[in-house]
Amino acid sequence: MRVAASDRRQGRARWMMRAGAACALAVLAVACAQVGSPQSASALPREAFDYAGWGQYLGGPESAQYSALDQIDKGNVGQLQVAWEYDAGNGAAPQFNPIVVNGMMYVQRGDAGIAALDPATGREIWKSEAKGRISTRGINYWQSADGSDRRLVFLNDGLLRAIDARTGKYIPGFSVDLRDALPEGHAPTPRPLMTSNPGRIYQDTFIVALPAGSGYASHPADIQAYDIRTGALKWTFNVVPRVGEFGSETWPEKDRELFGGVHNWSEFTVDPELGIVFVPTGTARGDFYGGNRPGDNLFANSILALDAHTGKRLWHFQLVHHDLWDFDLPNAPKLMTITRDGKKIPVVIVAAKHGFVFVFDRRTGEPVWPIEERPVPQSDVPGEHTSPTQPFPTWPEPFSRMSISEADINPYLTPEDHEKVRQILRESRNEGLFTPPSLRGSISIPGHNGGTSWGNTAVDPARQRFFVVSRETPVLIKLVPPKADDKTVIPNRGPQDLAYGAPYDFLRQSNGMVAIKPPFSFLTAYDMNTGNILWRIPDGTSWGLREQGVGDVGSQAPRGGPVATRTGLLFIGTAGDRMFRARDADTGKVLWEHQLDAATEGVPAVYQVNGRQFVTIPVGGEGLHPQAGAPKPGPNRYVTFALPAR
């Protein structure tokens, strides 16, 4: 099946309709749909978040990564010192964002599930009886209205489980296998469905995004909602529309059991005032070849606004059509209210892996700044069906570079590696952003392991600031034709010859460095009232180059998430140089830094106990990409900082 370009454009125009009227979208012909809202578009949310605690992943359901606490400020941050440390146990390095509720801090241990600590001293109160794999980035806290029932809710070896927040004991009878709600007809899933995505709680509902495998026969990664007390399934949103559902025409009519993925693998956001769940989705399978799935493939690579009570779609916007680059949306959308032309607009901000910032009125999905459909390079791979256009925001400016030439080759490579990269650039398709994968080989920049990632954005809702951590990791995507005996088995269909393969090639050279010249990564600050970039600086340093006396080049693989504060600070760790820093949020200048002996790949938690403010960061491992010359990392642990005790 081939969806003609004219049909695709007409389809997008139809999707702009809501309640019998077209969305008022300037210069726009992309997938935006509004089918109702829990609150009228003229009403403003009360923005009742106080940002004073850290009771949920990323601080709260709104994912702000912001703290209104004001004890630590620009004048005294230089006095921060280690207050306590807690051993995180053996196993994978911790990425877990601690939460602090009712006088307890909850963290994850690699060898003992979840532990409860005294947040003022780090003293261990209990270890949970939960064993096995647990969502690695965070967990959820819930309590009944009278506080008698207090639970920590999370995925545990593919089961939705809950433990008593006061004792660490399992809640009897609360155990749900996520596979029970999978659609029929898709490949069997013998392994438990586990994801690092913590999910979210809205009122008495736990909402979770299913994971999906990497193969072509993967199931769709639907969004599910469960009753927090009983575990009963409340609603499901189908990320790959079933036949007859809205958006189903963006997929082939037949072979629905072949389509999967579209997974929200990272994190998502809940607006408790509007009752909306904002879910950024990922790529349909496979990642780099889509000949099996002609069409735009809704709701892949989209921001979904769902009614938190029912799961019904309120609006959506597809940021990448028929994705062939693994340009999933990896970051929790951010909420704030901005002022444009004298009017208050509650917005949702989406930072995309390919370097753009998309901003929408979160009530209606209308872009704050126009988004244009522009022609993009087309595929020359047999059987592929490239989208003729892609969405380009006219504003704000991107936070990542989107092209690489011979002049951009990393000057710190060896002469031999420098020449090798030059030859690759000359021999490959290299037409900038959206250069499609090819048999010849294609360059993708910032790359599917570049741009921004989970936990990498923060907001200051009081100043209307938006902060993005990003990295640039050019990749070579060279498709490999399937072999005659390379088959995928589909239930009731037998072996199927589905697609081309695409080995990962991050163009890392003999000294472990990326192919592009520094800065390798950036920290960018936006004024969201205007969309202007306030400042953009290298994010950290590279360990090997720092040892050579070369600084301010950015880390090659930053994974730390920033937290902004009311006092104008930005706390951020960088895996590459193993530093934890406090920066001036107005300028990006470093005001304080602490050298750690291992990487930081998580989001700090900022909280207060007995009048004293603390900042806790997970520490451990070498980071996403080990740095040449870096010493062996220290133990996994949680490190907590505070001003000197009075």
Q: How far is CA 95 from the centre of its chain?
A: 13
Between 217 and 562, the more confident residue is: 562
Question: Of 279, 269, 277, 326, nearest to 299 (Cα)?
Answer: 279
pLDDT computed for residue 575 by the predictor? 72
Question: Of 132, 280, 307, 103, nearest to 205 (Cα)?
Answer: 307
pLDDT computed for residue 154 by the predictor? 95
Counting Cβ atoms within 10 Å, is residue 400 exposed (0-12), middle (13-18) or buried (19+)? buried
pLDDT at 278 over 80: yes
pLDDT at 7 over 90: no
Under 8 Å between Cβ of 456 and 462: no
Mean pLDDT is lowest, of 30-44, 56-70, 76-90, 185-199, for: 30-44
DSSP 8-state code for residue 516: B
Under 8 Å between Cβ of 328 and 319: no
Question: Of 329, 325, 308, 327, nearest to 438 (Cα)?
Answer: 325
DSSP 8-state code for residue 302: E
How far apart (Å, rounded) are the C-alpha atoms in residues 391 and 28?
9
Assign 3-class secondary structure to 450-464.
CECCCCCEEEECCCC
Under 8 Å between Cβ of 437 and 451: no
Total domain count for the chain? Answer: 1
Pairing of strands 66-67, 563-565: parallel
Most confident of 109-113, 198-202, 596-600: 198-202
pLDDT in tens, 27-68: 333 344 444 445 444 466 656 578 999 999 999 999 999 999
pLDDT computed for residue 489 by the predictor? 56
- In one letter, which amino acid is 544? G
Peptide linkage before 396 cis (omega within 30 of 0): yes
Count of residues making up the chain: 646
Mean of the per-residue pLDDT values of the chain? 88
pLDDT computed for residue 31 by the predictor? 42
Question: Of 287, 347, 271, 369, nearest to 320 (Cα)?
Answer: 287
pLDDT computed for residue 186 by the predictor? 63
Any residues with CB less than 8 A from the CB of 286 and at least 6 apart, and which? 214, 215, 216, 261, 292, 498, 499, 502
Task: Give the CATH number, domain containing residue 132.
Answer: 2.140.10.10
Counting Cβ atoms within 10 Å, is residue 344 exposed (0-12), middle (13-18) or buried (19+)? exposed
| 602: its two tokens | 């998580």
> What's the pLDDT band for 497 if we cut at 50, 70, 90?
low
pLDDT in tens, 324-353: 999 999 999 999 999 999 999 999 999 999
pLDDT computed for residue 625 by the predictor? 67
Under 8 Å between Cβ of 44 and 346: yes
Mean pLDDT is lowest, of 119-128, 173-182, 318-327, 402-411, for: 173-182
Question: Of 577, 572, 582, 568, nearest to 534 (Cα)?
Answer: 568
> Percent of the chain, pLDDT > 90?
71
Quick one: average pLDDT of 420-437? Answer: 97
Between 441 and 43, the more confident residue is: 441
Q: How far is CA 574 from the centre of its chain?
A: 17
Residue 108 backbone phi and psi in degrees, to 5:
-105, 135
pLDDT computed for residue 11 by the predictor? 36
Quick one: average pLDDT of 350-362? Answer: 97
pLDDT at 85 over 80: yes
Find residue 86's DSSP bridge partners: 638
pLDDT computed for residue 351 by the predictor? 97
Under 8 Å between Cβ of 47 and 62: no
- In one letter, which amino acid is 275? G
How far apart (Å, rounded) are the C-alpha atoms in residues 285 and 500?
12
Domain that holds residue 514: 5-642
pLDDT at 402 over 60: yes
pLDDT computed for residue 501 by the predictor? 75
Counting Cβ atoms within 10 Å, is residue 403 exposed (0-12), middle (13-18) or buried (19+)? middle
b/e map of 53-73 (b: 16 or more CB within 10 Å)?
bbbbbbbbbbbbbbbbbeebb
Mean pLDDT is lowest, of 192-196, 298-302, 457-461, 518-522, for: 192-196
pLDDT computed for residue 148 by the predictor? 96
pLDDT at 301 over 90: yes
> What's the pLDDT band for 193 if we cut at 50, 70, 90?
confident
pLDDT computed for residue 635 by the predictor? 95
> What's the pLDDT band for 607 if we cut at 50, 70, 90?
very high
Question: Of 110, 151, 162, nearest to 133 (Cα)?
Answer: 110
pLDDT at 296 over 50: yes
Under 8 Å between Cβ of 636 and 94: yes
How far apart (Å, rounded) are the C-alpha atoms in residues 297 and 266?
20
- The DSSP-derived string for 314-337 is EEEEESSSS-SS-----S--EEEE
